Structure 1
Amino acid sequence: MKLLLSISYDGTDYNGWIIQPKVKTIQGELTKAISLVTKTNNFKLMGASKTDSGVHALDQKVLLEIEFKPELSRFQRAINNALPSDIILNSIDFVDDDFSIRNVKQKQYVYTINDRNTNIFDQRFELNLKDFKIDIKRLQDILNLFVGKHDFKLFSGLTLDEQLTINTIRTIDSIKVIDQDSKIKIIFEAKSFIRYQIRMIVGASLHCLQNKRITIEQIKEKLNGIGEKSTIVIDSKGLVLQHITF
């Protein structure tokens, strides 16, 4: 039996999505909760996006394969009762046997920046730049360089060995900068992203905006595979997996 889950989480206190020994992860906590409810470890759990340490989600999609057919509302309630308070199972639905969690049409991530006043209740979910006023139009112009099909190997957290097996040529459908609720939000949409890709793009763009460490010409060169890997990786706390569509 295949089930599609949508979960939200505050990733602040977690070492990312992927289950790992001896560290706290989202997949690890979800696995423990489902084991507690089903009284078995005989199931499979796979996420649609491998969010990094500290990254949050409003709509992470997860495929659960189990050997029985649960009553959905009771099953959802039981899992939520077993989960820690910073992870919530939003919905759960049956899917066809041929459904693949890898057949994603588009992922939307949002990076939030506060360049004004800090709200204590939002600090875990945004980058604070209150000492630097952002020129939205110029930032948009810089981010437009990354839209389209490029080789992002110099804007990724992949090792040289990983670059031999993981395709670094990706297409970003759109990047939009908006001023919303007195915050700057950078909205990324694409079928897939590489480790640290969004955080490195945001970091390079903000430094370019401030005329620090990287120029527009250097960004263009790196997107053509020229030069060294970017070393600017912005804080993960401002990044949220907003939505996934199939």
Structure 2
Amino acid sequence: MPRFKALIEYDGSAYCGFQRQPKEFPTIQGELERAIGSVYHQPVPITGAGRTDTGVHALGQVISFEMDWRHEAIALQRALNANLPEDIAVLQLDTVLSSFHPRYDAKRRAYKYFIYTGPVRRPLQRRSSWYVSKKLDHERMQTAAQTLIGEHDFATFGQPPQGISTVRELFLADWQQQDEHLVFFVEANAFLYRMVRSLVGSLKLVGDGTWSVDTFVDALRAKDRSRSGQVAPPQGLYLFSVTY
């Protein structure tokens, strides 16, 4: 049976995360499986590259599923988009080898986090970024972020599945000023649960002067979850890309 790989974009504001839950809780996986089932007229389970949390968005989530579709992939893509809600879309759809797994075959994952730093709180930004009223020192945040590059034990900043190592390798950790937003771009071989949001919350403390860069580095080296700064809110986080 053919296996399909799909690139998915979604606004996670109205959903209880990616992973399927009981019917009373709307999820991205639930909506995707509902749409595929509507087209195929029978249940089709999907597998995702990452399980984003409640309120987290995606520009480049990857899923796979098997389906005996006898038409072109573009026709299936159009049919799925016609059955999906407006806040979820299939951006690309291709056939892949039957052995492809969107999670286990991934080599790198990248996230973006948006902090809105304008002078006044903007209601239309509340679902897409974290509003921080304090002035943030972009250069100090960048200096601290650069200490994350390479292989480290990130136990301070995230939780692994039971019994799994907390060591991860970061390839890129970069803050950029984009108009009234500070944008954190981070890429790694894998991430721990809530790792990106914990890093952002801690780096924000460096930016507002609560922490020094040395305090941030000490927290990383402590390998102690209680040493992390706050977990940044979910609405500023986007799963940006998955590399295979």
- Asked if TM exceeds 0.5, the reply is yes
Q: Which amino acid aligns with 1:219?
A: F
Identical columns (%) = 31
State TM-score, norm by structure 1.
0.89
Q: Which amino acid aligns with 2:81?
A: N
Specify whether residues 225 and 67 from structure 1 end up closer, same or farther in structure 2 by C-alpha distance, changes over 3 A only. Answer: farther
Q: Which amino acid aligns with 2:105?
A: N
80-89 vs 91-100, greater mean Cα deviation: 91-100
In structure 2, C-alpha distance between the alignment counterparts of 1:136 and 1:216, rounded to whole Å: 12
Correspondence 1:40-119 to 2 at 5 A: 40-41=42-43, 43-101=44-102, 102-117=104-119, 118-119=121-122
For residues 165-206 of structure 1, what are the alpha-carbon distances to aligned partners after superposition, in whole Å with 9 as ceiling and x for unaligned?
Answer: x22111111101111233211100112111100000010111
In structure 2, C-alpha distance between the alignment counterparts of 1:49 and 1:197, rounded to whole Å: 13
Specify whether residues 196 and 75 from structure 1 end up closer, same or farther in structure 2 by C-alpha distance, changes over 3 A only. Answer: same
TM-superposed deviation, 1:228:
4.8
Q: Does 1:6 align with 2:4?
A: no
Specify whether residues 90 and 243 from structure 1 end up closer, same or farther in structure 2 by C-alpha distance, changes over 3 A only. Answer: same
For residues 12-56 of structure 1, what are the alpha-carbon distances to aligned partners after superposition, in whole Å with 9 as ceiling and x for unaligned?
Answer: 111111111131110011011111111001x33100111111110
5+ long unaligned stretches in structure 1 = none
Q: Does 1:243 align with 2:241?
A: yes
SS of the counterpart of 1:140? helix
Where does residue 172 of structure 2 map in the other structure?
174
The answer (yes or no) to whether the contact 2:13–2:54 under 8 Å persists in 1 is: yes
Correspondence 1:1-246 to 2 at 5 A: 1-21=2-22, 22-41=24-43, 43-101=44-102, 102-117=104-119, 118-129=121-132, 131-158=133-160, 162-164=161-163, 166-212=164-210, 216-229=213-226, 230=228, 232-246=230-244
The answer (yes or no) to whether the contact 1:15–1:25 under 8 Å persists in 2 is: yes
Specify whether residues 227 and 33 from structure 1 end up closer, same or farther in structure 2 by C-alpha distance, changes over 3 A only. Answer: closer
5+ long unaligned stretches in structure 2 = none
SS of the counterpart of 2:147? helix
State TM-score, norm by structure 2.
0.90
SS of the counterpart of 2:60? strand
SS of the counterpart of 2:127? helix
Q: Which amino acid aligns with 1:127?
A: W
The answer (yes or no) to whether the contact 1:151–1:225 under 8 Å persists in 2 is: no
In structure 1, C-alpha distance between the alignment counterparts of 2:106 and 2:48, rounded to whole Å: 11
In structure 2, C-alpha distance between the alignment counterparts of 1:54 and 1:94, rounded to whole Å: 30
Provide the aligned length of Structure 1 versus Structure 2.
239
In structure 2, C-alpha distance between the alignment counterparts of 1:116 and 1:104, rounded to whole Å: 36
